[in-house]
Amino acid sequence: MPHSRSKPPRGPSTSRAQMSSRSTTGFRLRRMTNDELRRATLYAGVMLSLHCMAASAEAQDDAIREVLRSRVEALRETGRLDIRGSRIASVIVLPDLYERRGFRPAWRDARTSEQLVRAIADAAADGLDPRDYHQALLERLRGEVAASGQSDAALLADYDLLLTDALVRLGYHLMFGKVDPERVDPNWNMARQIRGFEPALDIQRMLDAGDVYQALEREKPGHQVYAGLKRELARYRQIEAAGGWPLVPAGPAFRVGVADARVPVLKRRLEATGDLVRQGHDTSTRYDSTLATAVRSFQARVGLADDGVLGEGTRSAMNVPVGKRIQQIRLNLERGRWVLHHLDGTFVVVNIAGYSVAYVRDGRTVWRSRAVVGLPYRRTPIFRDSITYLVFNPTWTVPPGILRRDMLPRLKRGGVRALPEGMRVLNRSGRPVDASRIDWSAYSASSFPFTLRQDPGPQNSLGLIKFMFPNRYLVYLHDTPSRELFDESARAFSSGCIRVERPFELAQLLLGDANWNSDSTARATGTRRTRTVHLPRPVPVLLLYWTAWVDDAGRVNFRPDIYQRDVRLARALDEPFRFRTRPVVTPPR
């Protein structure tokens, strides 16, 4: 029928026609199943939720950034910012970091902040105090952040700022030490030069890399002395936790072969510090050769004559409390942070408290000798310089300090007889004058018109050789005719200079020339003529003060604090955190 043709097609043929007509678009339309419709609805809901969450997170970030901006600007303007009762110490690096970041939070990665919290706890192993790095407050705020569900912008900003300040504080202490050395020694001249040091950029790189803990580990001195002191600090803290060591009672000196009821106590004392291998349940009261060997080990570690006799001096050293030894190790770890970063491979080092001098070549100690240092009231200064030349058969010109304190008072009492052998009196023109005709009482040190100079020779106060590193203290290393002083266990006898027991061995090492050997140096000194020999290149010399260190055999050594430097350093180390008032990095020359 005509009308039937004019009706729209229906049925399967209609679907195929419609599908065919849309085939050129690449789409195929069909009816969605109920499962597909539910999944599509769910997907749309998730996407909407994520969009809302992103918008919410962006709003939250904006709120945190606004708080950070406000806090940082207040710090910039006033130089002070307190958060929950804790002072922000980093008034330069912290603002610089956040300004560079556009005030975005720095600690959004929880793993990174956990690394810092771990590093703060581990600072105790370096002899530092985790409380200096907001430890307790950070723990509390971390709990508050977790409880708040990340919704409190002010709390998150405060937590972020405290983490950053803690990082700056800890990194600063590991790189330079907590205590400003100039506070305990105004002569300090060992500031380090660090090129390309930009703390804010370094922190940003650290955060980007996500290796905060390892980065802080790299800031610690890599020297074996530092590592050894850390190991011994842990060991001595274990000894303290176990109750310390027993006190050895007073009584007669122990010598091999005697029996004494105190021997079991002595064994436990020596076992505690590893000087004696544990014997198990040994109740013998006889002081035998094994015990004497252990006592000699202990005596050597504390700087006593290692004769194996347990006298009052040895007993007193054994009874020093473990807490004091722990404190000594802590103090010398701090000294390590001052000087053990990036040392020259080759140098001469004097340990004033240890009465020793050593030569280090390519990072390894190749020579060591006993030394005599300044009296407690004429202290050898601590500083760094470079040995540039040696003088064979030196003359000795009495310096102003020794003239004022020693020589002139002696001359006023004893006249010309008080002049040392070979000492001449010179006028301002450098010509000798008759010392017997001088009225010494007419002069003070400030008005003294003469120079006192001792001629070269075996009795010269400087001996037969001196090592020169010209400095304002008029201090140097030298030989001495007073050889007997090297046999003393405590050797603080000089007026400030360092007397070296085996100076010609050191001279040969410094000259580094096969032509300079024992025969050639003997010939040079045998002439009695003064001769100056310049080193091929200057060699750094460090005059340091260590009351605890680990020796080449891995044993911890302790020495008395002869100049009372530990006392001042201990007070400063236990004070609250503060930055130094002067730069710790020397500018490039």
Q: Is pLDDT at 334 greater than 50 in this prediction? A: yes
Q: Is pLDDT at 14 greater than 90 in this prediction? A: no
Mean pLDDT within 128-155:
93
What is the DSSP track for 460-491?
A: STTTTEEEE---TT---EE--S-GGGGGSSS-
Q: Is pLDDT at 163 greater than 80 in this prediction? A: yes
How many residues does the structure list for the chain?
589
Beta bridge partner(s), residue 556: 550
173 included as an active-site residue:
no
pLDDT digits (tens, 9 = 90+) for 500-539: 999 999 999 999 988 888 899 889 998 889 999 999 999 9
The residue whose two tokens read 């990072």 is 363
> Cα–Cα distance between 98 and 463 in angstroms, integer?
62
**474 or 477: which leads in pLDDT:** 477
Q: Is pLDDT at 19 greater than 60 in this prediction? A: no
The reported pLDDT for the residue numbered 282 is: 77
The reported pLDDT for the residue numbered 183 is: 85
The residue whose two tokens read 């201990």 is 570
- Nearest alpha-carbon partner for 388 in 535, 496, 544, 530: 535
Mean pLDDT within 247-257:
93
Q: Is pLDDT at 60 greater than 80 in this prediction? A: no
The reported pLDDT for the residue numbered 11 is: 47
| C-alpha pair distances (Å), 220 with each of 54, 126, 175, 479, 579 | 41, 9, 6, 37, 18
Largest interatomic CA distance in the chain: 161
> Cα–Cα distance between 440 and 432 in angstroms, integer?
16
Mean pLDDT, the chain, whole residue set? 89
**432 or 56: which leads in pLDDT:** 432
The band of 366, judged by pLDDT with boundaries at 50, 70 and 90, is very high
Q: Any idea which of 9-18, 482-491, 493-502, 578-587 has the lowest mean pLDDT?
A: 9-18
- Cα dihedral value 267, 272, 277, 281, nearest 10: 50
User: Which distant-in-sequence residues (6+ apart) come within 8 Å of 261 by Cβ?
Assistant: 285
Active-site entry in 134, 173, 341, 478 = 478
The reported pLDDT for the residue numbered 37 is: 66
Which domains does the chain show, CATH number per domain?
45-219 (no CATH), 248-318 (1.10.101.10), 403-455 (no CATH)
Active-site entry in 134, 173, 341, 497 = 497
User: Which distant-in-sequence residues (6+ apart) come within 8 Å of 514 by Cβ?
Assistant: none
> Cα–Cα distance between 365 and 450 in angstroms, integer?
44
Tokens (6 digits) for 454 = 């001792």
52 included as an active-site residue:
no
User: Do 370 and 491 touch, CB atoms closer than 8 A?
Assistant: yes
Is beta strand 477-478 parallel, antiparallel or unpaired with respect to 465-468? antiparallel
Give φ, ψ of 567 to 5 degrees.
-60, -50
Q: Is pLDDT at 450 greater than 60 in this prediction? A: yes
Taking phi over 0 as left and psi of -120 to 50 as alpha, with beta for the rest, 367 belongs to beta
